[in-house]
Amino acid sequence: MKRLATFLVISVLVWGPRICSAQAKPPLPAIMIDGQSLLITGLTPGAQAAWMGIGRATDTYYSTVVSRHGIGLADGTGRLRLDLGVPIPPRSLWVAVDLATGAFQTAAPGGAKPDLRSPPASMLHSQAGKADAFEDTRSMLEVFLVRKGTGAWTLWLSDGSERDEDGAADGHIRFSLDQMKPLGGSPPAPAKSAAGDLLVAIDPQRLDVVVAPVGVQP
C-alpha cells in the first residue's frame, strides 16, 4: 500500500500539470454572419468581447469602405448578438476576441476563409523612452489592439494622413500605440505592448488581415 501511495503521488506530480495545461487552453469563439447581424458564440459567459469588421459596400458607381467595431457583453451561455442595422457587405471580414481569455476568431460572409498574411518582423518595435511604434508598407490600414482582461483600442490611418507620423505619402505608415482610440469602457491606449497582447491589422483595400500575438522586447 505504501508503494502504491507513493506511485499515485508521483503520477499526480508528473501528469497533473500536463492534464491541467491541456485543459487550460481556451476554446475559440465562432462568428456567424446573417444579413445585418453577427452572432458570436463560444465566449466566456458574462464576459466582454471586442470585435471589429471592415467591408466594401458597392452600388452602381461607387465602392465605399465600411468599418464597424465595439465591445459587447456575452450572455450566460457565452453568446453575443450584434445587430448592425445595415446589411453586412459580402466583401468583408470580421474579428472577435474574448477579453477574458484572449481567444480570437476571424470570419467572412458565406463561409469564405479570410486572407491571413504573416506579420512583417518590424511591424511593432520598441523605442527607448517612447511608446512602441507600429510600421507597415500598406497605404491604408485599420489597426485593432486587444489586451486580455483590460480592453481594446483601434486606429484608422492612411499613408500621408495626419495620423501617419512620418508625415509623408511615401508608401509607409507609422504611428505610436498610445495614439490608438479606446473602445467601450477601455482605458487610454498603452504606450508599451505586453506579452499576450493581440494585434490585428486589416487592409480595407485588399481585405487581408494580420492577426498576431505581440509583446516586443526593447
Residue with the larger pLDDT of the pair 202 and 20? 202
- Tell me: pLDDT of 187 over 90: yes
Asked whether residue 3 is domain-assigned, the answer is no
Asked whether residue 2 is domain-assigned, the answer is no
Average pLDDT over residues 24-38: 87
Stretch among 20-29, 34-43, 107-116 having the lowest mean pLDDT? 20-29
Asked whether residue 195 is domain-assigned, the answer is yes
Q: What digits encode the pLDDT tens for the residues 135-174?
A: 888 888 999 999 999 999 999 988 888 888 888 888 888 8
Asked whether residue 16 is domain-assigned, the answer is no
Q: Residues of the chain with pLDDT > 70: what percent?
A: 86
pLDDT at 52: 94
Stretch among 12-21, 97-106, 117-126, 150-159 having the lowest mean pLDDT? 12-21
Asked whether residue 90 is domain-assigned, the answer is yes
The domain containing residue 95 runs over which residues? 30-214
The torsion region of residue 110 among left (phi > 0), alpha (psi -120 to 50) and beta comes to left
Predicted TM-score (pTM) of this structure: 0.82
Number of folded domains that form the chain: 1
Residue with the larger pLDDT of the pair 126 and 1? 126
Asked whether residue 82 is domain-assigned, the answer is yes
Are the C-beta atoms of 82 and 72 separated by less than 8 Å? Answer: yes
Q: What digits encode the pLDDT tens for the residues 57-86?
A: 877 677 788 899 999 999 999 999 999 998
Q: Which of 104, 99, 107, 102 is nearest to 184 (CA)?
A: 99
Q: Mean pLDDT in the chain?
A: 84
Asked whether residue 7 is domain-assigned, the answer is no
